[in-house]
Amino acid sequence: MTIHIGAQPGEIAETVLLPGDPYRARWAAENFLTDAKLVNEVRGMLGFTGTYKGNPVTIHGSGMGMPSLSIYANELIKDYGAKTLIRIGSCGAMQQHVNVRDVILAMTSSTLSTPSRGFFKELQYAPCADFKLLEAAAAAARSRDVPLHVGGIYSADVFYDERPDLNEQMTRHGVLAVEMEAAELYTVAARYGCRALAVLTVSDHLLTGDALPSEDRERSFGDMVEIALDAAFS
């Protein structure tokens, strides 16, 4: 047990999927894992362990934002031996050619600040995904004929952003989408020699104002979960 995770030794798999929302963790575990068991509910942050095609998997909420994600990633790796961590979540598109419901694989993630910033001092560290995971996820998406984009994203440290000038420059420089966790996940994973990837579903569009209707979210997020699971065990 740790301060934030109440699972017993052996109850967390080496492969962990990390949705921000603990209730999305429950939904994914119930719909994609076999014999899923609740292993954590400390502070309402739910975690479940089961199997996918015979492979042990944990699906654990990470909360919103990089500080929360950092807590869970550190404890899952250092105290429970997690080796592969895949964020599954939503994002806001920042390019005209990216549409709502599309899937984005984050090759890199730019950011203004992360909880790990103090490690690097003046260095501008470039957080990136594990290439083999990225390659496997791209193959899994193509096999399902899911609209796919691979490239750089932006991990924001605020939700209610008031920097249209910054958004304009990111769009100009090809940043595909914005979310709030991937940059720290990639950094923590790199620190401990683990694999990490963010598989994201576009739920809204910053340029067009389009948004995914609530009744359609479950199907779109399901594609993302299956892509993540297949990539983990390819």
| Token couple for 196 | 């990490």
Give per-residue pLDDT as tens, 98-123. 999 999 999 999 999 999 999 998 99
Catalytic sites, residue numbers: 204
- Lowest mean pLDDT across 75-79, 128-132, 133-137, 220-224: 220-224
Q: Is 174 assigned to a binding site? A: no
Domain boundaries, the chain: 15-232
Q: Is 203 assigned to a binding site? A: yes
**Does the pLDDT of residue 219 top 70, yes or no?**
no
Was domain 15-232 assigned CATH 3.30.160.250?
A: no
- Average pLDDT rounded to a whole number, residues 182-210: 97
- The set of residues, in sequence order, having a beta carbon less than 8 Å from that of 81 and lying 6+ positions away, is 12, 14
pLDDT > 70 fraction of the chain, expressed in percent and rounded: 99
For residues 208 and 184, is the Cβ–Cβ distance under 8 A? no
Return the pLDDT at 231.
98
Mean pLDDT over each residue of the chain, to the nearest integer? 96
Element containing residue 185 per DSSP (H, E): helix 182-191
- Average pLDDT rounded to a whole number, residues 34-57: 98
Give per-residue pLDDT as tens, 146-168. 999 999 999 999 999 888 999 99
Q: Is 180 assigned to a binding site? A: yes
- Amino acid identity of residue 214, one-letter, is S
Q: Is 168 assigned to a binding site? A: no
Return the pLDDT at 95.
98
